[in-house]
Structure 1
Amino acid sequence: MYVQHFVGLIHHPKEEWEEIVEEKYSIVQCYLRYIIWLAAIPAVSVYIGTTQVGWSLGGGDTVLLTEASALPIAIAFYLVLLGAVGAMAYAMYWMEHTYGVDASLERCFMLTTFTATPMMLAGLAGLYPVMWFDVMVGLVAVTHTLKLLITGVPILGHISEERGFMFSMSVVTVGLCVLVAVLAITVILWASVTPPVFIR
């Protein structure tokens, strides 16, 4: 069902969002059915890419992480992604009254789950950790995420497209803050808790 909805969101987003609104998902269902699996995609991909493929900075030698040091980093990354999805959904719910949005916390989780899917799928680029490639895949994913957000908010929130656009831009701002927080947590973990061990 989820894959069918996601494909529908690519081809006819407005009609598919209307179908999604009719379905009832609890927060637990969003996590157990979808988010725990989606968040595993970038975590596992980055683990494989950094331990089996490696990367090169400036055309020098290929650098790899040891499997023992990459595993706790991948697990921490996975847990941070799970927290980030929850933080985004709660932020949407917290801001909804400012914009006159009529959405429950459950609907906010549904919206976050579907709009985060392109970003999670883009995590497959971690299997091939080359900067230019990962940036290009990331830009495509961000573009599609914005499209899903802008088309989904008015339908799930029962508001006009203009108000939905304003709300979506506020969500994007919060998303950037969450991204900075994820990067900061990553740096702290790398520096103190799970330092990487490099091999050439």
Structure 2
Amino acid sequence: MAEFATVARPYAKALFNLAQEKNQLESWLGELKILAQVVSQPKVTALIDAPEIGYAAKADTIVSLLDNPAAGKEVKNFVYILAENKRLSVLPEVYTQYQDLALSRNHTKIATVYTAYQMNTAQFAEVVQDLEARFQTKLQATQVVEPGLIGGLKVEVGDQVLDLSIQGRLRSLYSAMMN
């Protein structure tokens, strides 16, 4: 996975710079999201991995699968460049890194909040507000229900993890008792 990040980084930065020049940050974000979803499909992954199929045929197939049949010339060129360089499989990572660049431009980070139970909108907004104060940045947060936490919550912001769950506390207690 680390090598995907290394390979995807220059593509994401180049696209971000191009999109910023042309004032198309949001449209590229949407196109990359769709491309990432397309190449994550098992049949498309098999197509990408097939050595007997040429890069142009792979790129044509992927472009034809886009929801937007009138995809821009730049999107098609980008897919062809990735196909020619045998980098189509890194598209999901390009999307992730591009999204991070777009969010960092607005001083925002992506957060995933794992909870044992579904919170209502007001509760979740309050938790996000507290997390923004703790991490000192705006957060674009999503909630994931994970009953195994038993109670409390676990938060991932970038490479930082804040574990305030009962499951985490039980693990800490177990670890302390065993050492």
Q: TM-score scaled by structure 2?
A: 0.30
Larger relative contact order (Cα-Cα within 8 Å, sequence gap ≥ 6): 1
Q: More helix per residue: 1 or 2? A: 1
Q: Which has the larger radius of gyration?
A: 2
